[in-house]
Amino acid sequence: MMAARWGRLQGKEDDLVTDLKETTLSFKKLGRRYGVSRQAVYGFSKRQGIKRPLKPRGHQIEECRLCQTMIQLSKKPHREFISSKTIRKRTGAKSKGKYLYHLRILRDRGLVDEKFGRLHSKRAEKAYAIYFTKRLPIRTIGRKVGYKNFQSVIRKHRELGWNVPPSLYVYDGREKSRIQSEIQRRKRR
């Protein structure tokens, strides 16, 4: 019986070697193609000492360390204010392309929200980190990170639909009037 099967393979060995070396088709499928059994193809492959190429594995979010890190980060409060640079660093994604590839998959599946990974400024990230945790005037925060006008950055983000909560710093009456008079002074200039 084996002889008969081998008989059919005769003259096609070179093609089979090529298929074994260059495709990831299973022994069963190759057997069907060449009219021999799966075992016959397997035995042939072993005897020829052929190293088969690895099947490319599909991307599995559950098993992807990069995706899992991003999902974890996207659960943090104020996640949309984590800069893309920081996210990339945390995930260990070497290239920007790789980072974006995984991020897009997660966005498409709705596993991270639309704004996650869209903040690109490291300075804005720094400023917001202070803004969310410290009771400081916006001007002071701006000065700390090197923004001339952090207030206008906040305003722009709000206009774009970012969820920027009110400042922790409570402006008392005196502070308010100081700001008012400064605005007036600027207008006069």
Enumerate binding residues for Zn ion (CB under 5 A): 64, 66-67, 102
- Smallest gap from Cβ 124 to Zn ion, in A, equals 26
CB nearer Zn ion, residue 8 or residue 104: 104
CB nearer Zn ion, residue 16 or residue 106: 106
What single DSSP character describes residue 110? T
- Smallest gap from Cβ 138 to Zn ion, in A, equals 37
CB nearer Zn ion, residue 102 or residue 157: 102
In angstroms, the Cα distances linking 33 to 7, 37, 41, 157 are 15, 10, 10, 60
The Cα–Cα gap between 161 and 139 comes to: 22
Exposed / middle / buried, residue 177 (Cβ in 10 Å: 0-12, 13-18, 19+): exposed
- Smallest gap from Cβ 85 to Zn ion, in A, equals 18
